Amino acid sequence: MGAASDLLGLSIGAAARLLRDGGTSAAELAALSGDRIRRLNPALNAFLSVRPAAAGQAEEADRALAQGAARSPLAGIPLAHKDMFDRAGETTTFGAHAAFWKRPESTSAVKARLDDCLAVDMGTLNMSEFAAGPTGENSHHGRCANPWAADRLSGGSSSGSAAAVAARMIHGSIGSDTGGSIRVPAALCGITGLKPTYGRVSRHGAMARVWSQDSIGPLARSAEDCALILQAVAGPDDRDPLSALTAPPFELRLGDDRPLRLSLPNALVSEADDDVAACFDAALKALAAAGVGIDAAHWPDVDDIHALAETAHKAESTALHDGQLTAHLEKYGVFVRQRFEEGALIPAVRYLQAQSLRPVMVERFLRDVMRSCDAVVLPTVACVAPVARALEDDIGANRQLLGRLTRYTRPFNYLGLPALTVPCGFGRDGLPVGLQIVGRPFDEATILRVGHLFQTLTDWHHRSPDLSWARPGARTETAA
């Protein structure tokens, strides 16, 4: 797999330059990607389907490249996406039982925009059932394994996206994030992931999970790669009623050399495991040595924000599934069903309070934590990837695990703020640790700049897992 590893291990920018210079072709990249998927997927279970149409997309990209008509750096780049984005005439599974699958008549905004860039869509990726849960376990399609260790969680709900990028099957992916579903798997699998500002990317043709907290964004190797994908898919869309139609356009400013100041919520960071804290401290020292200012901050509202986010999360997700729960209750996994049943018990007054307090909490966060800084930094997840296990019937045990995984990510979905995770080292058992960078509304440019700076100072994002265990014929534990 040497040739595939060399070419598929390139950054999007490096692969784009090679494609433009004639050093490789989109058809070759797609063939190498397809071969690597066939070799590794029986063990990883990251892909749910591989698209035969990808070869045709690669040929179209090669023609445009040969004619000098390909204007996007994504032209000819192999990508694949979480299986919750519509493509006309192709099945979307939502990570769920076959009773819920559909074959849409139109294509989602994000896939259509990537098609316009001549990116090559290699297929659909595994995910938590209905994007409900940060573990990556799935009782219908089987567990998505973590490329760094077969017995560890990949994280979710964008499990296949993170695993496929980390395993060098593809260069990047589109996932969704409602409580950490991009950032958690990206951190546990040692890659970069971006949750944009709420409304920055159109959700037209995407499965809704929690309409007031859903964000769509990229997972890739680096901050620069995430920026290139975001540049392709960001922008207003009047087909999405929650799209930010008047937001300032996303601007790429990775090379900006103005001084940076970061804010650190010490009390929250102290909850991380020792090995995660050590990696986080080393990351801060690297940034400080490069001239970045770092100040402590007090964040008194974090527990209130968690409670408010959970109230809105459960109520909205249950409302979205209310009719299906009545008709197909037995076709939901036990864990997902329990979560939805809890949502049915939330009083309307509590939900309305949670929504009405959002602008207040955003204002307080910007005032108290971000008053004199460019971005906030904290770990992405408080622990390294836990040992995988099937989600049990005991909702209390499951809630403890979910709370541990999303403690540092969920608040920023409720607040609607952009948040980036980048690899910042390895903790116990040689498992990846993530550094999270949070910014002001629609200021993805600054957090990507911080992430890019960190990745010029360190090489954690270049590290790749030893996949010798994922030999041909190996398989992860799948659903019965």
Interaxial angle between packed helices 12-21 and 223-233, expressed in degrees from 0 to 180 and rounded to the nearest 10: 70
Token couple for 352: 């309305």
Is 159 known to be catalytic? Answer: no
Q: Decide: 131 and 159 in contact? Cβ < 8 Å.
A: no
How far is the C-alpha of 66 from the C-alpha of 62, rounded, in Å? Answer: 6
How far is the C-alpha of 165 from the C-alpha of 80, rounded, in Å? Answer: 9
How far is the C-alpha of 190 from the C-alpha of 154, rounded, in Å? Answer: 10
Is 157 known to be catalytic? Answer: yes
How far is the C-alpha of 351 from the C-alpha of 362, rounded, in Å? Answer: 17
Q: Which amino acid is at 470?
A: A
DSSP-based three-state secondary structure for 124 = strand
Among 157, 158, 161, 176, the one annotated catalytic: 157
Token couple for 309: 């986010």
How far is the C-alpha of 50 from the C-alpha of 34, rounded, in Å? Answer: 8
Interaxial angle between packed helices 444-457 and 223-233, expressed in degrees from 0 to 180 and rounded to the nearest 10: 150
Among 159, 173, 176, 181, the one annotated catalytic: 181
Interaxial angle between packed helices 54-66 and 12-21, expressed in degrees from 0 to 180 and rounded to the nearest 10: 60
DSSP-based three-state secondary structure for 121 = strand
How far is the C-alpha of 287 from the C-alpha of 456, rounded, in Å? Answer: 10
How far is the C-alpha of 187 from the C-alpha of 299, rounded, in Å? Answer: 23
By C-alpha distance, which of 188, 191, 381, 180 is closest to 276?
Answer: 381
User: For strand 215-220 and strand 172-177, is the pairing parallel, antiparallel, or unpaired?
Assistant: antiparallel
Is 82 known to be catalytic? Answer: yes
Among 11, 72, 82, 202, the one annotated catalytic: 82
User: For strand 120-125 and strand 47-50, is the pairing parallel, antiparallel, or unpaired?
Assistant: antiparallel
Catalytic residues: 82, 157, 181
